[in-house]
Each structure stands twice: as C-alpha cells, then as structure tokens.
Structure 1
Amino acid sequence: MPYGQSQPYGPPGQPPAQYGPQGQPPYGQQPSYGQQYGQQPQYGPQYGAPPQYGPPYGQPGYGPPYGQPGYGVPFWTREVEPAIVAAPPGTAFHRLARTAKHRWWRPLLGTAFLAAAAFLVTAAVVVCWEIAHALITGDFSEPAGDQLFPGDTENLAITLTMLGALIPVVPFTAWLIQRRPAWSIASVLNRIRWRWLLLCCLPALGYIVLSYVLGILVDAIFPPTDNATDSGSWVGFSAFVGPALVILLLVPFQSAAEEFIFRGWLIQAVGAYGPDDTNGTGFVRRLKLVLRTPWPALVVSSGLFVSAHGYTGWAMADIFLFAMVIGWLTIRTGGLEAAITLHALNNLAAFLLPAATGQLDGWADQGGAPWTLLVVDIPCLAFYAFAVSWLAKRRQFLSVS
C-alpha cells in the first residue's frame, strides 16, 4: 500500500465508501455479525450466538404474554380475592347468605357445625356452672329428672345462660363457613340497629297490654273448663326479687339467641338456595320464582321453631303463627330487632308472672292450650305487625343491603 493512504476497513473486495470512519458502518446503521452489510443476521451456534433458554417468548412456560394479568406486576401488588364477601347491594335479608362465596354445601355444613358448636358451648356452661355451684355450696349437685339443680331459680338461670351463650356462635358460623360478614346474621347493615330495637319496644308493650286485656275479655265470654287452674297469689317482695333479677338479666339474651338461630341462620340458610336467575319455562321458572321468595324460608324456620318447643294442639298453631309473623317482620324491616324485642318482652311477661305468684316451679312445663289462646293472639300479632311496619316506613329503614 502506498505511503500516506489509510488501510480500508471492512471485508476484502468491498469499497471503503460503504463504511464510516474507522471501519464503522454508515451513520444510524447497526453492524451485522457474520453477514455482509445489508443482510439480515443469522443466529445460531455456528455464528457464536448463545443458545436459547426456555420456550419462545409468549409461549406456554415462558410467562403470560405482554398485556395479560400478571405480566410485569409484582406479586405483592396483585389483586387478591377477599376472604369475606358481603351480599351485593339491594339484597333482601333472607338472601344475605347468597354471596359470591356461596356453594350448595355451605348452608348444610354450617348447620351441622352450628349444632356441634351449640352442644359444646352448652356442655361447657354446665361444667363451669357445676364447678361454681360446688365452690359456693360445698358439694356437687345430683340431677333429678330434667332438673340439674335443686332450686327452681337456679335451674331457670342455667337454662337461660346456656341459650344466651349461643349468640356469638351463630355469627361466627356465618363468618367461618359461609365466608360472609358475621353480623349479616343480624341485619342488612351487618350490625344490630340499637335505636330501632329500642323503638320496637313501644309496639311490643302494646302487644303485651292488648294480650292481657283481650285475654280477660275472652275468658269472661268463654270461661276456662279446667277447674284445676290456680292463678296463685303474691309471694312477697323478698321471694320475688331474686327470680325477677335472674329473669330480667337473662331472658333478653335467651330470646335473642333463639332469634339468631331461627330467624337469622335458618331463614338465610334456606334463602341462600333461591337462584340468582329465573330463566326457564313452565314449572322450572315457577319453582325458581318461589324459591327466591322468603316464604319457603319462613315456613321451614317456623316449623323447626315449633318442633324445638314442647307445645301441642292449639298451642302449636299459636306459636307457629307467632314465628311466621316475626319472621315476616324480620324480612320486612331487614333485621332481627323487631323479632328480638317482641320475643323478649313476651318471655319476660311469661316468666315474671309465675315468679310473682309462686308458680315458677312450672316454668318449663309446655303442653296444650285452649283455642281461645289463638283467638286472642291473632289480633295482637296483627297490631304488632302493623305498628312495626308503619314505624319502619315512617323512619325509612332500609330493608335491603
């Protein structure tokens, strides 16, 4: 090469004009490796390219394609399905268990779990009560028949306590098994509406007074045929104050626990089987429409409520009507408050009157009743249903979630 000329860069035989200064390709171009300029590079082991690792980009096993969920998103920021799901807005009380987590087996498993938990809780109450009784009196009691303890007041107290202890078990079952807010058992707002509960005391007191007045009138027109009936007499303040305190303190919890089970859990468990859609024709569509209504849940829960008591004859009809009315009010008002109030005040009157007249030993006696009991109770329940419905409408309470 003559002196003063620069060495051409690039492959032999190619004019230097195709390359930039000092052997670089023209401005803006990338060099090709193993190929002449202007041709597409070829990759492979023979050209020194590293081997491929894993499947081609975007194929199964490489990861989600670009733009799909999970691509480039850290695991700690990805959306996780909530563990507890509430019913969608606009859901009626009897369908609050029909959430996105609902499966056909959840109400059945929850009912079995609730029964087992109730047995364990009541057994624990009996054991603890027996220990406390022995520490106070100095000896353990020996059950006689259906009486756990020798005193009527103590037997009443432990029975009311065993039932009242079930109140937290029911919300816990809804939370654990059905994966929904625990206190959706109580109302569509997932809580107890205390002001509404206290307001319901007014029509409940009216129910008690009306029952007493109508009872006197009906007995005057149709005198009882049972001559063995004894109304008792006043036992005195000192003998009344002890049982009265037990009744006033524990009966509201016992009544609330029964409402949580029968008007809360059972109504919502049956209502959860109502389908979300009503598609279909003929009998199938009519069946779906019926299952979406609250009436199957009301009938089932009311029937089980009657079976849990020892009433017969007209008394069974009366308690079934009582359960149907307060169950309807529960759905109408979107919560258990009206049912708890009437149940508690009715039981307070039913326990306090025998305690005041020396007949508390028969507090657990259940059986038949004359037909006049049902005749008296029908207008009283109608009054309470109308009064509560009017108050709920006036106060504009939500009956759906």
Structure 2
Amino acid sequence: MYIEQAFKYQHEFWRYLLGILIVIAAIIAGQMPFVVAIFMEKGFDTAGMDESELLRVLDSNLTLFLMLLPFAIALLALFFVVRHVHNQPFTSLTTARKKTDWGKFWFAFGLVAIFSIGVTVIDYFTSPEDYVFNFQAVPFLILLVVAVILVPLQTSFEEYFFRGYLMQGLGTLVKNRWLPLIVTSVVFGGLHFFNPEVGKLGNIIMVYYIGTGFLLGIMTLMDEGLELALGFHAGNNLITALLVTADWTAFQTNSILKDVSEPSAGLDILIPVLVVYPIFLLIMAKKYKWTNWGAKLFGKVEEPVMLNPSEES
C-alpha cells in the first residue's frame, strides 16, 4: 500500500518537519537568481510593481526559466531529504509497485494533452476573435527546450512533495487516508492564491486549484502510486505553456496562441472540476479496474507488524 510503505523507513514526524524546512530553504535559494535579475534590470523601481508587471520585466523565456528553476532545486532537495533524512528509496515515494509504471505516466500525459489540445482547437475555430496567432519560430524553439526540461521538473516536485512526501508523512501520523487527501489538496490549491489568475478572476478560481489537488490526490490513493498524477500534471502544464498564453496568467510564454479575450469566472471554472475531472477519473478507473473506493480514500492506515529476527525464527 502506498502510504503504508513509509512505515518501513525512518518516519518520525520531526523528520518530516525537518524535511519541509530543507525544501522551503531550497525554494527560497532557487528564487534568488530571479530576484537578482529583476533588480539588475529595474533596480529599486521593482518595489512598486505588482506580480504581472514583474513577469514582464525580462524576456519571457528567461522569466519562465527563472520561475521554474526553484522547483528543480527543490526536487533535488526533496531527493536528498528522502534518501538521507528518512533513509527511504525514492521509488517508494513514487509507487507501491516494485518499479515505476511509466505506461501509466504516459497514459495520463496523453489523456490530458489530447483533451487540452482538442478543446483549444475547437475554441479557436468557434471563437477566433478571442485568439491571436503568436508563433515566432526562434522564441518558440527556445520555449520548447526550456519547457520540456523544466516544466516536468516543476510538476514532479509538486507531486512528489504534496501527493508523495506530505501524503505519506501525514498518513503515518494520523493513520487514515481522508485527512492527508484533504490537507494536501487544500494546501496545494491554497499556494496558488497569489497567482495572477486569482487577481483577474477572483477567489472562485480557487475552486479549480483545490479541485485539481483533489483530482491528483484521488488518482494517487486509488492507484497506489504517483505515476498517473505525475503524467497528468506534466501534460497539463506543458501543453498550457506551449499552446496558449495570456497577459494575466502565471505562465506568460512565447506560445503558439495568445488568448486576448476578457476572462470570466463561472462555468469555465466549475465545468472542469464538476464534469471533466470526474470523467477523467472514470476513464482511469475503467482502464485500471479500481475497486474499493471507500477504503482507499477514507480507510485507515495501519502500521505493519515488523517481526524481529527472534520472532521470525
């Protein structure tokens, strides 16, 4: 079982607190190059800028690189924590299976990629006035390299940290599944509160962010591993970065299209969470024959009985 296997390693709660502090320190250190680059470009004028203005100070590809760099550094820090603070193999943070199932990763990646591209193409042809063709070969190729390398590192860090490290840590502490699911989903969504999208669309967008956290958490618990969540999150963010940008989004890139419509918060927020996400889960449940939903999402986490050598003999 995915959460239960953390019991095999050093799982005292103080180790998780130490691990969280190390990861936070790594994120702060990783943000320094962006802060320095902005300051060198604008000096003390940056003090009065809001987040949207700060994101436009540098070249968009450089901005994307510097924004994603902290996640890559944090992923390395998390790897260090798991290996050396918990003496836990990283595979056990990925899956309850003997080895990582990359087929599941690519299935989830492809599922969300096909959906995102399909919806965008349909919207482009039904509402062409909402889009500007933004493609420029050289900037896009640079974006492609940056995004393909760093976006999966960003999404992998978030999955390993929230649905992996915190899910297992809280699970071993409270010995149930529902509380780690709720806490990791709400915290994951809550950390998006300062995104430019919230200022543009209002707090209702938090339904989408927290709902996405629940979707990824349910995938992880039902499938006893991170592979589906890793693939889904990477596919969603990578296609978004490459396909469509807007002046009010966290990722402002040299993408193929630019959305120039005035965004509205309403059904556009609720339909993905209430309709599309359940369909994704049903597709995965059918393909991977998920059963026993109640126990896997709300059941107890039981510490296995570890026999000492004398008892085994």
In 1, Cα distance between the equivalents of 2:99 and 2:77? 15
The corresponding residue for 2:143 is: 243
8 Å contact from structure 1 (residues 298, 324) kept in 2: yes
The corresponding residue for 1:172 is: 80
The corresponding residue for 1:322 is: 212
8 Å contact from structure 2 (residues 219, 228) kept in 1: yes
The corresponding residue for 1:234 is: 133
Task: Specify whether residues 362 and 374 from structure 1 end up closer, same or farther in structure 2 by C-alpha distance, changes over 3 A only.
Answer: closer
For the pair 1:375 / 2:270, whether they are aligned, the reply is: yes
The corresponding residue for 2:250 is: 364
1:109 CA drift (Å) = 2.5
In 1, Cα distance between the equivalents of 2:152 and 2:90? 20
TM superposition outliers: structure 1 runs of 4+ over 4 Å = 209-216
8 Å contact from structure 1 (residues 188, 335) kept in 2: yes
Q: Which runs of 5+ in 2 are unaligned?
A: 253-262, 291-295, 305-313
- The residue type paired with residue 207 of structure 2 is A
For the pair 1:348 / 2:238, whether they are aligned, the reply is: yes
The corresponding residue for 1:332 is: 222
For 1:252-280, what per-residue CA distance to the aligned partner results, in whole angstroms no more than 9, with x for missing partners? 22111111111111111111113xxxxxx
**SS of aligned partner of 1:200:** helix
For the pair 1:272 / 2:168, whether they are aligned, the reply is: no
In 2, Cα distance between the equivalents of 1:235 and 1:259? 31
8 Å contact from structure 1 (residues 122, 165) kept in 2: no
The corresponding residue for 1:305 is: 188
1:333 CA drift (Å) = 1.2
For 1:73-99, what per-residue CA distance to the aligned partner results, in whole angstroms no more than 9, with x for missing partners? xxxxxxxxxxxxxxxxxxx22333233
Q: Which runs of 5+ in 1 are unaligned?
A: 1-91, 134-139, 221-229, 275-290
The corresponding residue for 1:98 is: 7
**SS of aligned partner of 2:130:** coil
In 1, Cα distance between the equivalents of 2:181 and 2:233? 16
The corresponding residue for 1:185 is: 93
Task: Specify whether residues 375 and 271 from structure 1 end up closer, same or farther in structure 2 by C-alpha distance, changes over 3 A only.
Answer: same
1:152 CA drift (Å) = 1.8
The corresponding residue for 2:156 is: 256
- The residue type paired with residue 157 of structure 1 is F
Deviates more, 1:318-327 or 1:155-164: 155-164
Partner of residue 118 from structure 1, selected from 27, 49, 58: 27
For 1:266-317, what per-residue CA distance to the aligned partner results, in whole angstroms no more than 9, with x for missing partners? 111111113xxxxxxxxxxxxxxxx42x110011111111121133422101
1:204 CA drift (Å) = 2.3
In 1, Cα distance between the equivalents of 2:90 and 2:151? 23
**SS of aligned partner of 2:181:** helix
8 Å contact from structure 2 (residues 95, 225) kept in 1: yes
Q: TM-score, normalised by structure 2?
A: 0.71
Task: Specify whether residues 382 and 210 from structure 1 end up closer, same or farther in structure 2 by C-alpha distance, changes over 3 A only.
Answer: farther
The corresponding residue for 1:296 is: 179
8 Å contact from structure 1 (residues 197, 337) kept in 2: yes
The corresponding residue for 1:37 is: none
Task: Specify whether residues 212 and 108 from structure 1 end up closer, same or farther in structure 2 by C-alpha distance, changes over 3 A only.
Answer: same
In 2, Cα distance between the equivalents of 1:215 and 1:268? 40
Task: Specify whether residues 210 and 365 from structure 1 end up closer, same or farther in structure 2 by C-alpha distance, changes over 3 A only.
Answer: closer
For the pair 1:195 / 2:90, whether they are aligned, the reply is: no
RMSD: 3.6
For 1:167-214, what per-residue CA distance to the aligned partner results, in whole angstroms no more than 9, with x for missing partners? 222232122222322332211237533232123334323542575589
Larger helix fraction of residues? 2
State the number of aligned residues: 265
RCO comparison, higher one (Cα < 8 Å, 6+):
2
For 1:61-116, what per-residue CA distance to the aligned partner results, in whole angstroms no more than 9, with x for missing partners? xxxxxxxxxxxxxxxxxxxxxxxxxxxxxxx2233323363324222222223222
1:324 CA drift (Å) = 0.4
The corresponding residue for 1:109 is: 18
- Residue identity over aligned pairs, in percent, reads 22
- The residue type paired with residue 231 of structure 1 is D
Task: Specify whether residues 162 and 110 from structure 1 end up closer, same or farther in structure 2 by C-alpha distance, changes over 3 A only.
Answer: closer
- The residue type paired with residue 5 of structure 2 is L
For 1:139-173, what per-residue CA distance to the aligned partner results, in whole angstroms no more than 9, with x for missing partners? x5446445385212211121122212322222321
- The residue type paired with residue 268 of structure 2 is L
